[in-house]
Structure 1
Amino acid sequence: MTVNGTQAGVMEGAPHEVAALDAVSVRRYTTGQVILDDIDWTVRSGEHWALLGANGAGKTTLLKLIGALMHPTTGTVEVLGHRLGRVDMRELRAHIGLVSSAQKVPQDATAHTVVLTGHTGTVQPLWRKYDSEVRERAHALLAELEIKELAERPYGVCSGGQRARVLVARALMADPSLLLLDEPFNALDLPSREDLIDAMHRLALTRTELATITVTHHLEELSPAIGHVMLLKEGRVLTSGPVADVLTGVRMTECFGRPIEVSRHEGRWLARSGRR
């Protein structure tokens, strides 16, 4: 299966589509409820997107579509050059990195073992699949995320921020072109949050072909690498585009239904509720 842009004949370094949604809608079969309605969206290599919206806006469903975890009711979804419905979803998912605080991994497994499982896309390690080269790659990814000292520490005793970076390293084992982060900052304290933001910023600088999509509720969790934002409201795209055009008080107020003031300082964003 060819999913890498260079293998498909795209010149290395030239931005190319990694995900494209055209007139996509998702409805709940049992009730007919519209979860997503007429979504158009294109994500290109090297782009870093934030996906924002109130609870129930459709963010997680949209991420599941791009993560090849579900099909749309109507419209088309193409990921890494393959249209959902015409490709083996399991094989496609092997080339997409996913990080979620809800991911289940063995608590007693070492950080190195957890990263190794990213090679096979399994929860439990498949030891026969991990040769010396694969094991060394897992160590290199821990070093890249600046947590190499955690290699032999059980995942269950790592801090929340350390766990988040272990999961990022695990997601990178497949050398994905697309990395999806579903509320990766959930329940992190301030130092842990900043460590993860710094890690994501470094990845953006060193892995220039990698595209990322981050679902979050807080502008303070966006790294300076975020260049594009989509705002979802009640299953529809309210607006999307360059970060400076989208993250405005007017747009955020419209999205969340209450006065919001937005400010920016040294590449970082801050939102707070204004007075009514």
Structure 2
Amino acid sequence: MTGVHGSGLDARRIRFGHGDRLIIDGMHLTAPGGAVTALLGPNGSGKSTLLRLIAGTLRGEADALELDGGSLTAMRRRERAQRVALVEQEWSAAEGMTGRDIVGLGLLPHRGWLSFEGEEADAVATHAALTRAGAFEFAERDAATLSGGERQRVNLARALAQRPTLLLCDEPTNHLDIRAQLDALVLLRSLARDGMTVIAALHDLNHAAAFADRVVVVADGHVQAAGSPQNVLTRELIARVWRVDAEVLTRPGSDRPLIVFDTEHAVAR
């Protein structure tokens, strides 16, 4: 896959409701191949729901859901799992499963549940995924004993073992310390440079400003703005969407924005 960039994701008019509430109301999301797209928005804006709809773990409606020109909704479940990997914030493991066992689950869409062919190749792929995600030291640990940050890295390794074209990450820096957060974001950028389409839901606007090629801001069931961090993350948009005042500076040594929040006052709701 290295150096080969697909056209990416094109999701048109996605809709999803729960009861009488319409959570996602006709969103149109594009994410180019070979780039990191940061999905931003306040709590409850539908970021996690949107990722699950794209991954197919949640059912909704869409006029089109295409990856590299092919329809995801027309794919069989196994084929879709070979193309799309979702890293969720929280997950549970069966009793007695090790970190290596969890990562091995990422191979199932390619090998099947009962396949014993290619065990050596599977072991190599699992080792590579654990190493690249910085999770090799957790390979033989009982998954139930892992901390939140350790589980996050193992889950990312599981997604890498899946060898997806599209990687969806829901708060990939959640539970991680500062060094591990930066390592995770550098990894996502590296995967994108290798040709993967990467979409990451993030809370930290400065992480998005520093690492994303494109940002999509969602709120109230709609896309509020989309484009480069430099063009989208303005003081006016931050005040309107997050109800906080901020000064948007330029990060030293680059043209990317650096957001400094007013810790004394918030914009009146």
TM-score scaled by length of structure 2: 0.82
Aligned partner of 1:272 in structure 2 is 261
Aligned partner of 1:87 in structure 2 is 75
Please state how far the C-alpha of 1:56 moved relative to its aligned partner.
Answer: 1.9
Please state how far the C-alpha of 1:34 moved relative to its aligned partner.
Answer: 1.9
User: Alpha-carbon deviations, 1:167-206, whole Å to 9, x = none?
Assistant: 111101121111000112223333432332343344344x
Please state how far the C-alpha of 1:255 moved relative to its aligned partner.
Answer: 1.3
User: Quick one: percent identity of the two aligned structures?
Assistant: 27
**Contact 1:27/1:73 (<8 A) preserved:** no
How many residues were matched structurally? 260
Aligned partner of 1:3 in structure 2 is none
Aligned partner of 1:68 in structure 2 is 56
In the aligned structure 2, how far is the partner of 1:197 from the partner of 1:265? Answer: 17
Aligned partner of 1:151 in structure 2 is 139
Aligned partner of 1:18 in structure 2 is 8
Shift of the 157–196 alpha-carbon distance from structure 1 to 2, 3 Å rule, reads farther
Indicate which of 98, 103, 127 corresponds to 1:115. Answer: 103
Letter in structure 1 aligned against 2:180: S
Shift of the 106–38 alpha-carbon distance from structure 1 to 2, 3 Å rule, reads same
Indicate which of 211, 229, 232 corresponds to 2:215. Answer: 229
In the aligned structure 1, how far is the partner of 2:124 from the partner of 2:74? Answer: 35
**Contact 2:129/2:160 (<8 A) preserved:** yes
- The answer to whether 1:134 aligns with 2:117 is no
User: Alpha-carbon deviations, 1:80-138, whole Å to 9, x = none?
Assistant: 5443543324431332111112122246422222211111169xx86846611111111
Uncovered stretches (5+) of structure 1, i.e. residues with no partner: 1-5, 7-11
Please state how far the C-alpha of 1:146 moved relative to its aligned partner.
Answer: 3.5
Aligned partner of 2:240 in structure 1 is 254
In the aligned structure 1, how far is the partner of 2:190 from the partner of 2:74? Answer: 35
In the aligned structure 1, how far is the partner of 2:230 from the partner of 2:95? Answer: 40
Uncovered stretches (5+) of structure 2, i.e. residues with no partner: none
Please state how far the C-alpha of 1:212 moved relative to its aligned partner.
Answer: 0.7
In the aligned structure 2, how far is the partner of 1:80 from the partner of 1:71? Answer: 21
In the aligned structure 1, how far is the partner of 2:239 from the partner of 2:75? Answer: 40
- The answer to whether 1:176 aligns with 2:146 is no
- The answer to whether 1:238 aligns with 2:238 is no
Aligned partner of 1:46 in structure 2 is 34
Matched position secondary structure for 1:17: coil
